[in-house]
Amino acid sequence: MMLDKFMLTYFNWEVMAQYLPKIVEGFFLTIQLALSVVVTGILSGLTLSLIRSFRIRVINFFIIFSVDILRALPPLVIIIMFYFALPTIGIRMSGFTATWLALSLVLTAFAEEIFWAGILAVPKGQWEAARSTGLTSLQTMRSVVLPQAVRITIPPLTNRTIAITKGTALGAVVAVGEILYQAQAGLAFSYNPSPLTLGAIAYLILFVPVVCFGRWVETRFAWKR
Amino acid sequence: MEQIIQSFFNVRIIQAAFPFLLKGFGMTALLVLTVVPLGVARGLTVALLSTAKSRLVKWMVIVYTDFFRAFPPLVLLIFIYFGVPFLGIDLPAFVAVAFGFLLNTSSYYGEVFRAGIESIPRGQFEAARSTGLNAMQTMAYVVVPQATRNVMPDLISNTLEVVKLTSIASVVALPELLYAARQAQSITYNATPIMAAGVIYLICLWPVVRLLSRFEHKTISLR
């Protein structure tokens, strides 16, 4: 009897069947949002860390300053600033853009720090040896330092990327029709939490493999001490 | 410029909203002070369980941590806050939020402590056991203190994430800092309270970010 009620509440097939298409729609939007954040964030983080390696004082100060701010602010606060505060000075963007931009900036900041740490971790002798063989400093960076740096950065970068990608759920707050938004809408319309169950399952389908991948990466690229 | 100051850094509005924000800040602090100690304790328990000899226990710990690491915290929060009442259980907002954060954050603390415990050489266990300490004592006096020191930067980093995480409690109307700021914004039609909340987060968390940065560079130069 208890179980019946439980099933009818959380696993109500009728309600689930009704809202499944919406959740699937949200599922693909989540993937789209997550992939755009990962690509933008990692590429711009890498670019910033390369710029930082030129060690131009003014630019580096600016990079460190912005990275610090982006690491200290909660992502939801940044999203809300973009979506609710910027319009008051005439800058408007969709919820999708606000979420994408905010999460990309946060990932950029973390990725820059991680790549920079990786670049610093490559011993100076590697630079000097590469330069003395006649490589230019750009060639040294590209063919000698970066390949080693990236290898070291893969485990922390993977973990950080996964954590930030889960932030796509924050898009629900600014009406991005991703999984959580669709699930909440379903709950509100049907007055039954089964759409939430469906949403939760969708997140598990999406992120359990990703978390397992992260675990694998961690052991595969582990530092041999 | 004039307009930016008017809409983002309006002194009159800061004055009006300040008591409100302060109350929100108090709630954020209370949430952090509840979730962090409980999360650390639970995380440590999870990590200790993962050192168990039984395969079943080890496997269950991995399922537990991966499950809650895979779940976006906001989804967990909404599930507990809006989903559980359908069972007829009425949770106060604070309890629901703290419980959701605890499930999420203890998995992360657990992973950090596990890495710490794994970083302690076997010889330490053996030496401690051979001096007559039992397994519990070995963990408590020899392994865990060293493990904690080894993963201190990760523990601090995770705690920073917990503080930032509390901002999502605003979504389920728990009156913490961000919620207070958004309320003040909708009353005043001005974005200043949100900016002010951002500044409060910055003031509290920037020193932590700096500290972490120092830690990160130190570990690298040691390599």
The two three-digit tokens of residue B101, written as one number = 């954060």
Provide the pLDDT for residue A108: 97
Q: Which residues of chain A have pLDDT under 50?
A: 224-225
> pLDDT tens digit string along B170-213?
999 899 999 999 999 999 888 999 999 999 999 999 999 999 98
- In single-letter form, the type of residue at position A77 comes to V
Taking the Cβ of residue B64 and every Cβ of chain A, the question of whether any pair is shorter than 8 Å is answered with: no
> pLDDT tens digit string along B19-62?
999 999 999 999 999 999 999 999 999 999 998 889 999 999 99
Provide the pLDDT for residue A151: 85
> pLDDT tens digit string along B79-94?
999 988 888 888 899 9
Provide the pLDDT for residue B10: 86
The two three-digit tokens of residue A76, written as one number = 């939801």
Q: Do B206 and A193 touch (CB under 8 A)?
A: no
Taking the Cβ of residue B161 and every Cβ of chain A, the question of whether any pair is shorter than 8 Å is answered with: yes
Task: Report yes or no: A170 and B57 within 8 Å, Cβ to Cβ.
Answer: no
Residues of A in contact with B223 (CB under 8 A): 121
Residues of A in contact with B167 (CB under 8 A): 74, 76-77
Provide the pLDDT for residue A225: 41
Tally Cβ neighbours within 10 Å of residue B70: 22
The ipTM assigned to this model is: 0.90
Residue-averaged pLDDT of chain B:
91
Between these two residues, B99 and B10, which has the higher pLDDT value? Answer: B99
Provide the pLDDT for residue B221: 55
Gap between the Cα atoms of B136 and B128, Å rounded = 11
Which of B124, B118, B186, B68 is CA-nearest to residue A200? Answer: B68
Which of B155, B163, B164 is CA-nearest to residue B212? Answer: B155
Provide the pLDDT for residue B1: 80
pLDDT for residue B220 is more than 80: no
